[in-house]
Chains A and B, each alone.
Chain A
Amino acid sequence: MSRMRLLLVDDEERFLATTRILLEKRGVETATATNGSDALKVLEERPVDVVILDVKMPGMDGVEVLRRIKQKYPLVEVVMLTGHASVESAVEGLKLGAFDYVMKPIDIPDLLAKAEDALSKKQTMEDKIRRAKIEKIISHPMAVFGKDAEEEE
């Protein structure tokens, strides 16, 4: 399994710092952002597999950030991190395509496990897409060009 690239978004800077240390120790390439727009910026700059996203943040809130991520990077998996027990925002997040949600406070190993699940789902999806593309090429070699043309749009 390749090294996971993770983006942690939360308005608690101390949480970001400490968790980052812990994740880096476990070999997770971790980027952090304290708000939604920073997070989107990070996504633009570097490849990310999984985003751990706090729901409640000043400025753009988590659900909005999720919406934009899924719009721009549909393959990036997002785990919602919610500070309160209200399921509504979590449900909303799931509807918008989040992989799962976890409730604060969560143990860092559990958080990591959740992130790995998300990663494996992402990889599965990527595999599927790759295989589908290959099959397409095998069955209709010419389609590759059509697809490419589509992608160039």
Chain B
Amino acid sequence: MGSEGFRRTRRMILGRVLLAPFVVVLLVCGTLVYHFAANLHYQLGAKLVRIVDGHRRIIEQFLEERTADLQFIAASSRFEDLTREGQLNRILGHLQQGSQAFLDLGVFDDKGNHVAYAGPYSDLVGRNYSQTKWFLEIREKPVYISDVFLGFRKIPHFVIVVRQESRDRTWFLRATIDSLFFNDLVGSIRVGKTGEAYLINPDGVFETPRRSGGDLMEVDPDHSLYRSDEREILSFSAKDKAGSRYLYATGRLRQTGWILVVRHETGEAYAPLVRAVGTAVALIVVGGGIFVFIGFVLASGLANRLRIADLEKREMGTQLIMAGKLAEVGEMSSGVAHEINNPLQVMKSEYTLIREILKDAETGRNALTPEDLRQVLDSVDQINVQIDRCKQITQGLLKFARKSEPSIQPIGLPSFIHEVVGMVEHRALLDNIRIVEKSEQGMEPIESDPAQLQQVFLNLLNNAIHALRNRDNAEIRITAEKEEDQLAISIGDNGCGIPPENLEKIFMPFFTTKPVGQGTGLGLSTCYGIVQRLGGKMSVSSELNVGSVFTVYLPLKVEAERKANPL
């Protein structure tokens, strides 16, 4: 695993470990914010609606009471009584005891003449009001309530006029009402810092001053925005002319058609939401950053550990091969000693024979006969034969024990196998085992590591010999054939076979069925490792008491990467 692999692993860990929680956190936050916003929106709207509802009722009640006061006076008094000197003043006094809002009181005949007056401006008596707006309006309906105006008094006020029809005449009772009452009432409404309330008439003229700008009798530039219903209180949001967005609630007054507007700047109203979202985002960013950092560190550590583990595994594989080789050497050494001692023994005999013949000749006990000479020559030749035998053995041993330097080279298959077989042939013969080699003809050479392959096949052959010990008609059958882009070499025996429960463990390191001290359990696992490193595979099939077949599949060519670094 190179640094690219390291990065890939780390990225994979990071992605898998962080992405899922991150998505979940975002989903949770998103859902919470959404519901919070919806709830806040509803709450804010409901709050404004509640304010409008409550205050509208108070104002309506105020207007209703004042109107009822006038209607009561008009109904309970006669025109003549009211126009009598001092009577109206007395009534005004009574009214003012009930409500300070009454400023003055006037009585008008059906021509619009101001016939009686009680209040601070007595000079109004005698004027004709027939062309004024209120007079024109009151003839259409029984009660008229004017808009708020400042008048000469310079205090905001409005008038309520009631029409009274008696048997002989129609007359009107008019009262001027100080609008301070609902100025205060409406003006005192505060929602947060920017929340305010005001009254406008249906034409958009302010009936109460607006805190954020807008005096009495001015026209609200935004009045076209205000939606209103006959009775229903509406809540909506809109942008005013100045460009600020407000949340509005509006309700229409029954008597006058004035609209009570309560508005709250959206920015301020939604400030808690903005704060919450800001906090959440900040937490996600900071927390996410910390998590990403920790995750990065952990993933790096993990990836690094994986890399080290991988290296260790390779290292271990190498060590296993070496250990397996050493074990194999140990196991073989006794065999080798036998192999070498036999020729040595032959040589000893020949040496003794030659020496005796020569000694006899030297001492003159026996003259050298041609027969003796032939004998000596034969013995010397025999010694040479035995030396060659020894040489073969030592060479084979050297080949085996040599530290496996990676050497990928072409291997001619049938001859290579034959060479390996040659190393165990004698041993097999001792155990009465026949070795049959069957290879496809004309096989092209494969590219692989001969030293390592030799170890593999020696091991398999040794196992086969072991399995065939003390069996009749023992045979090892070696076949090699090409299968597509690989070569399959099978080593089969008709020996004791492998029980199924052992078959699955057979390639595991240190698994052995041999008695303690006789097998290391490294042979097959080492073979497996070697074959895998050479880009091949190994398989086994076996039947108890019928025999086993080990098959080694080798690629025709070892990959370039493996070639460069076989272990």
Residues of A within 8 A of B (CB): 11-12, 14-15, 18-19, 21-22, 25, 56-59, 83-86, 103-109
Contact = CB atoms under 8 A, between A and B. Distances in A.
B516 interface: no
B89 interface: no
A124 B128 CA distance: 179
Given A104-B341, A104-B345, 6 more contacts: A12-B345, A22-B349, A83-B337, A84-B337, A105-B341, A105-B345
Interface in B516-557: none
A109 B341 contact: no
A83 B338 contact: yes
Contacts of B342: 12, 15, 83, 104
B350 interface: yes
A145 to B, nearest CB: 46
Contacts of A59: 432
A115 to B, nearest CB: 14
B341 A18 contact: no
Contacts of A18: 346, 349-350, 352-353, 379, 382
Contact of A58 (B339, B341, B345, B429): B429
A109 B352 CA distance: 9
A14 B353 CA distance: 12
B560 interface: no
The size bracket of the interface on B is: 20 to 34
B64 interface: no
Q: Is the interface of B mostly helix, strand, loop or mixed?
A: helix
B348 interface: yes
Interface string B427-443: 00111100000000000
B329 to A, nearest CB: 14
A104 B344 contact: yes
B335 A84 contact: yes
Nearest to B375: A21
Contacts of B353: 18, 21-22
A107 B334 CA distance: 21
Task: State the 5 A-B residue pairs at the shortest beta-carbon distance, nearest first.
Answer: A83-B338, A105-B344, A104-B341, A84-B337, A18-B349
Contacts of B338: 56, 83-84
Contacts of B335: 84
Contacts of A15: 342, 345-346, 349
A108 B337 contact: no
Contacts of B345: 12, 15, 83, 104-106
A34 to B, nearest CB: 12
Contacts of A84: 334-335, 337-338, 341
A15 B352 CA distance: 11
Contacts of B382: 14, 18
B430 A107 contact: no
A116 B337 CA distance: 27
Contacts of B344: 104-105
B427 to A, nearest CB: 9
Nearest to A81: B345
B389 to A, nearest CB: 10
